[in-house]
Structure 1
Amino acid sequence: MEFRDPAPFPAPASSDGPLDDAVLIGDPGELAAGLPQLLGYRPHESIVLVSLGGGTGRRVGLTVRADLPPADHARQLMAVLARSLTTDAPRAALAFVVSEAPDETVPLLPPGVGPGGGWGTDLPHRSLVHDLVLALDAVGLPLEQALLVRGERWWDFDCPGGCCAPGAGTSLPTGVGELAAVAVAAGTVVAADRAELARRLAPPGESSRAAMEAAVLRTAPRSAGGPREVATGRRRIRSVVARCRPGPGQQPPGDAEVARIAWSLREPDVRDWALLLSLGDDAAAAEALWIECTRRAPSPLDAFPAALVAVCAWLRGDGALANIALDRALDSEPGNSLARLVEDALAACVPPRQLRALLIEAGRSAGVAGPPGASAR
């Protein structure tokens, strides 16, 4: 599956999803229960759109999420989300309003229509769903269903039955569904929220940061890089990547190693070669190394490692981490060349498989030999 962030709007928006297998859905409640697996974290007060496509029209595709907007921004945000979803060329869309808002008090009949009928209750955020329907219709995309997900239950906004009455709802499925099974097989760890994902890249404490800054000063290159420095940088990265492979022998790099690698990534020939590590058999180990360098290297040396994290995450379909890492890179160094390229790719909704092919072709054109196992999928 591919995922992207919609364009930034009043409330932070993010796309998320670490799964890359074809998943067909049946019961919408199962998909509602699987939103944390789709996004990589548990959404709160969010609007989530899922594209449906493929030969059956039931393949889960692009997923976009945004914070629930204030009423005066709802229509514009829904238009942004609808346009984002069309990049996946879906047949239809599903919408999930994830909110703990209580039921709303509404008049039983609109003003001026028949005798006064008193007041009743309705599901929250129905006006938001109305704005979404209009936005999807404007781009020629039908909304198959719109569900409210609240308190471990779900409601269909269009269901007239008692099961979807404001005080009723249907319990979310329990047990391990298909989405959860795929996520477990992919090694996905669901975060409690998006902030928890951001903390995975958070800098260390003050004492560790001071030691890291000292290591950066000690290892600063004394001259411009050349072939010898490029070869040394590649060997150093390869050695540390081997120690970062998942398993009992995993060993994080020391401060001096992080500093030297962060410096070496300022060399384009080292960086281009390192980028291709995300395509090979050691992609997971390389990502672990880039995360360590992003966490520990001071600004702006953390920018290129953060951009590499974004590439690795996007290739896995993990749009949430990709966007968090990209934000880190651009905050640290707004003009960072790799981060800007990744930003353009995400803004254009380049699917992971297409990004993989583009990286391989770029490596070939530049004469950069890719790592073992680097092949288009």
Structure 2
Amino acid sequence: YHFRALQYPYRTPPACFQGMFLVSLPYAVLHGGYWSVIFVVIVAFICCYTGRVLITLPDGVRVRASYREIAEFVFRSPPRRHGGERRPPLRKALMTCILYLVLCGDLMLGCFPRASSASPPGVSFFCLLPCAALTSLRHVSWISFWNTVTHVIINCIIIVYCLTRAAHWQPQKVQFHVDINTFPISVGIIVFSYTSHIFLPTLESNLMDKSRFGLMMNWTHILSAIFKALFGYIGFVTFAEHTKEVITNNLASEPLKVTVNVALVVKALCSYPLPYFAAANFLESSLFSGWPLPSCWNSTGDFKLWALLPRAALVLFTYVIAITVPHFALLCGLIGSFTGTMLSFVWPAYFHFSLKRHSVSCFVLGLDLLIIGNGLAVRLRRDVC
């Protein structure tokens, strides 16, 4: 699917998260059993549905270029007076940046267990400081593309390793009953692995052939659900109760584990610029656009030199949070249940219900309400836990 050439880096990058958090799906099956596998399929259906309706207005014409613009249209509120609709996408982008740093720490500690827990994120921080000078959308898009190719190769390596241990699989360890106190972590990880809704409006607005957006959503979610369900199940039956938060740390071959972990660390570092770029654009358009603070850009559209300081501070902020909460699966589940359900379940279904309630069937309206209710239930359950 072809994209228009974007000339000015003021909008959210037209790409989705690359699926780095797939490595925690076997850990989700550890806590959720067969229900986690079932939820992989259910969440794929819900996210596909909400992703498609997110960009559809009452007249059927897609004219909104960002998640924020859709929210402003629904609430009929100017962005500077009511900035609340900006916060969930911004929070999601920042938390994704933090998770990449935490993932780097877990992967490196799996290779070098004697290292300090703050050392790997510290090295990552210095490697990511150049992101403060990243203003080219094309560079981010190309990095994201090659990250996806690399991750597919790494996933295939993990699958092949698990298949070589098929004689030692323990399918009897996959249970139907779940612990209600730990199951929300599994649901959160699954939800988070699908949350790319903050990028979908921009993605669709930059497609040359917009009529194929629905087809693309259907096939990507179908294939994603099949692969994620198999990956989570096969990964768990291979290592059973010894399954770790990041499955690559379970690899018995030390050279293979180190090679795969280092490759994933490099990929995580290269994946960081995408959500970072989105978060930086949100903040710059909200704060540094001439009101309430001076603009980041001069009259010719070039980035001002002093604007690198708040961007560097943003990298530092994600590093501080990463070393404060160094538990990848727990943080991933928390963000998925808290922010992911709102961005992927509640708000898209609410937008569709508000805009289409007079023109769609009762079944569709009931489906919207069911998705909203389930999203709120997952979030409230996460808050209680």
TM-score (norm 1): 0.21
Bigger Rg over Cα: 1
| Richer in helix (by share) | 2
